């Protein structure tokens, strides 16, 4: 039985409270900070580790982060895709970097709101903070060695208990990207309606995502981004009903428990905080074809498609394309 823990420490309330819990549950605890910026350890991280009386290990990952997250995100945006850098960062940088220094006697502890079901990850008990979606791209060998002590807890209780115990942590939580993207050339292009008629101009498809409404200008009625095309740099807009997709294809699949046969029934979640919907899955030469039980709104190529059986994550991949009902111009 494992009696030691390596705790992923960021300085936020979740990882700081997880570290405190580990002090009560394991005989030996280390904290690991993954430096993705090259700026060293923030004072909040040092204060938290110091207050817990544990060894603090720094993992230098700025080069890996730049290659796997910053440049990758920039490339995705230039192709008219909507990346999910947080999910990729878990898989390609943060959890991977800590797993590489994990000792045989240690479990890798994180502050994610998720639970374990044997080797599988399950949804966290807090429906408002469940983070299983962000773990769907992580390799099964890494997840096998992970423990999520906050999985059964509510976020509001974690924050309250951390404050009562005077655990040092960053008081403000950032919901924005933790990095700046390279400056794009800003190549202009056409804004088209669904009939193929040019109705405006834009200053770069990198500034748009499927489902976006703001920043489109005035067209006499509420319009949304329905599609992006990197080859001719067009932004196609339509009404809300034009955002619906009947299915999608996901590539770079990370299977945690691949169905024994296809077609298979499961649920899929195509964005964070979006409810999972029943779907029929089919394997098409390594790619996953998904047919939704009902049309889904604003399914964006580049986002993560997480696959669930009940509340357990069984896989995840990157949406490469979507399938639309027959588009018709809204005459209203």
Predicted confidence (pLDDT) per residue in 22-60, tens digit: 998 999 999 999 999 999 899 989 999 999 999 999 999
Q: Is residue 175 part of a domain?
A: no
In this structure, are 140 and 221 located in the same domain?
Answer: no
What is the CA angle 132-249-210, rounded to 5? 80
Residue bearing tokens 């590489």: 100
- DSSP readout, 71-112? HHHHHHHHTT----HHHHHIIIIIHHHHHTT--TTEEEE---
Q: Is residue 329 part of a domain?
A: no
The model's pLDDT over 250-309, given as tens digits with 9 standing for 90+, comes to: 999 999 999 999 999 999 999 998 999 999 999 998 899 999 999 999 999 999 999 999
CA distances from 234 to 189, 190, 199, 201, 220 (A): 6, 5, 11, 9, 20
**Does 330 have pLDDT greater than 60?**
no
Domain boundary among 149, 164, 179: 164
pTM, full prediction: 0.91
Range of the domain at 63: 4-164
Angle between helices 13-25 and 155-164 (to 10 degrees): 70
203: CATH:
2.30.30
In this structure, are 24 and 122 located in the same domain?
Answer: yes
Kindly list the catalytic residues: 89, 178
Q: Would you state the pLDDT for residue 301?
A: 96
Q: Is residue 14 part of a domain?
A: yes
In this structure, are 153 and 63 located in the same domain?
Answer: yes
In this structure, are 226 and 248 located in the same domain?
Answer: no
Domain boundary among 203, 223, 238: 238
In this structure, are 8 and 155 located in the same domain?
Answer: yes
- The helix/strand/coil state of 263 is coil
In this structure, are 234 and 100 located in the same domain?
Answer: no
Instruction: Please count the structural domains in the chain.
Output: 3
Q: Is residue 183 part of a domain?
A: no
In this structure, are 318 and 197 located in the same domain?
Answer: no
């Amino acid at each position: 039985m494992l009696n030691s823990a390596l705790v992923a420490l960021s300085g936020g309330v979740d990882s700081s409270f997880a570290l405190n819990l580990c002090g009560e549950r394991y005989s030996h605890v280390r904290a690991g900070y993954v430096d993705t910026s090259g700026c060293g350890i923030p004072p909040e991280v040092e204060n938290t580790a110091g207050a817990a009386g544990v060894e603090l290990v720094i993992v230098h990952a700025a080069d890996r982060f730049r290659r796997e997250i910053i440049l990758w995100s920039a490339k995705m945006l230039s192709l008219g895709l909507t990346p999910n850098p947080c999910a990729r960062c878990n898989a390609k940088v943060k959890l991977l970097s800590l797993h590489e220094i994990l000792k045989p006697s240690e479990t890798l502890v994180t502050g994610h709101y998720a639970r374990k079901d044997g080797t599988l990850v399950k949804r966290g008990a807090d429906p408002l903070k469940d983070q299983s979606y962000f773990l769907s791209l992580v390799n099964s060998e890494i997840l096998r060695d992970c423990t999520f002590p906050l999985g059964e807890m509510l976020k509001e209780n974690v924050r309250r208990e951390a404050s009562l115990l005077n655990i040092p942590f960053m008081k403000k939580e950032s919901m924005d990207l933790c990095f700046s993207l390279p400056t794009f050339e800003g190549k202009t292009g056409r804004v088209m309606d669904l009939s193929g008629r040019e109705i405006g101009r834009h200053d770069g498809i990198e500034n748009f995502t499927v489902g976006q409404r703001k920043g489109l200008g005035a067209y006499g009625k509420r319009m949304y981004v329905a599609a992006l095309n990197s080859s001719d740099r067009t932004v196609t807009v339509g009404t809300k009903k034009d955002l619906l997709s009947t299915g999608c294809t996901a590539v770079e699949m990370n299977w945690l428990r691949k169905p024994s046969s296809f077609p298979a029934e499961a649920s899929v979640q195509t964005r964070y905080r979006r409810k999972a919907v029943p779907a029929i899955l089919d394997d098409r030469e390594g790619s996953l074809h998904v047919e939704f039980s009902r049309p889904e709104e604003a399914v964006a190529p580049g986002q993560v498609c997480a696959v669930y059986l009940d509340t357990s994550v069984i896989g995840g991949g990157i949406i490469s394309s979507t399938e639309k009902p027959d588009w018709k111009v809204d005459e209203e």
